[in-house]
């Protein structure tokens, strides 16, 4: 019982400390870099499908659910810095919403394969942002 109490206390202490440090670092980062940011991502939504029929496909829920877990748990922890303006996971999610599960997943994996530093130079200058990211687009945000 005593051991459990000690573990709970340590865990609580650790979590509180981590939370405070995350809040503080987030505030400092926001204050320092907000004016230099080219692209600000809005809050990530859980699910919004383009077609009504897509709401009845369980695969879409599996795909979007896995990506939601990845984006909100794993991606936050590893502090991933993507080469693309729309990150691979977000791109996959948008593609699933717009093109369905199969095309969405394949498109997302393809972007993942092409996510390396040199990929920037395979796109014309108009598709490179000021912070050296590739300006990518899904069907919804297609350039005209």
Partner 1 sequence: MDAGFIEHLSVNQLAGEHKLYLNNLPPLSDSTNYYKTKFHLKYFNDSLLLFHYAQSKMLCDADTTLLAKTSAAFLVNSDRQKTQTWFNAIQQAPLRGDLKEIQNIYHASLNPNAFAAEAFPAQAQNAYSKYKRAYNKKPFLAGALSTAVPGLGKLYVGKTRSFIMTLILNAAYSAQTIESSRKLGLSHPLTIINAGAFTVFYLSNIYGSYQAVHKLRKEYKKQFLIDATRFYN
Q: Indicate the helix (H) or strand (E) that contains 82.
A: none
Size of the site for partner 1 (CB under 8 A): 24
- Cα–Cα distance measured from residue 111 to residue 121, given in angstroms and rounded to the nearest whole number: 15
> Does the protein bind partner 1 through residue 127 (CB under 8 A)?
yes
User: Are residues 104 and 63 in contact, defined by beta-carbon separation less than 8 angstroms?
Assistant: yes
Q: Does 44 bind partner 1 (CB under 8 A)?
A: no
The residue written with tokens 């919004």 in the block is 48
- For 12, the token pair is 């609580």
Closest to partner 1 by CB, 42 or 124: 124
Of 2, 43, 79, 122, the residue at the interface with partner 1 (CB under 8 A) is: 122
User: Is 68 near partner 1 (CB under 8 A)?
Assistant: no
For 58-74, b where at least 16 C-beta lie within 10 A, e where not — what string? eebbebbeebbebbeee
The full length of the chain comes to: 144
Q: Closest separation between CB of residue 97 and partner 1, Å?
A: 17
Q: Which two tokens stand for residue 109?
A: 């994996």
Q: Identify which of residues 40 and 142 has a Cβ nearer to partner 1 in the complex.
A: 142
Stretch that binds partner 1, among 10-18, 25-33, 36-44, 106-114 (CB under 8 A): 106-114
Any contact of residue 80 with partner 1 (CB under 8 A)? no
Q: How many CB atoms lie within 10 A of CB 120?
A: 15
Binding to partner 1 by residue 47, rule CB under 8 A?
A: no
Name the residues that contact partner 1, by CB under 8 A. 103, 105-114, 116, 118-119, 121-127, 142-144
């Amino acid at each position: 019982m005593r051991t459990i109490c000690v573990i709970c206390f340590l865990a609580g202490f650790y979590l509180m400390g981590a939370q405070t440090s995350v809040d503080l670092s987030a505030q400092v980062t926001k204050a320092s870099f907000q004016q230099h940011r080219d692209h600000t991502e809005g809050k990530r939504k859980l699910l919004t499908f383009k077609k009504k029929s897509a709401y009845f496909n369980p695969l879409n829920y599996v795909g979007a659910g896995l990506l939601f877990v990845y984006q909100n748990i794993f991606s936050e922890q590893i502090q991933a810095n993507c080469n693309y303006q729309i990150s691979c996971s977000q791109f996959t999610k948008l593609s699933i919403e717009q093109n369905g599960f199969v095309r969405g997943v394949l498109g997302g994996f393809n972007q993942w394969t092409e996510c390396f530093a040199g990929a920037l130079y395979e796109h014309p200058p108009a598709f490179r942002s000021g912070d050296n990211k590739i300006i990518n687009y899904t069907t919804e945000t297609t350039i005209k």
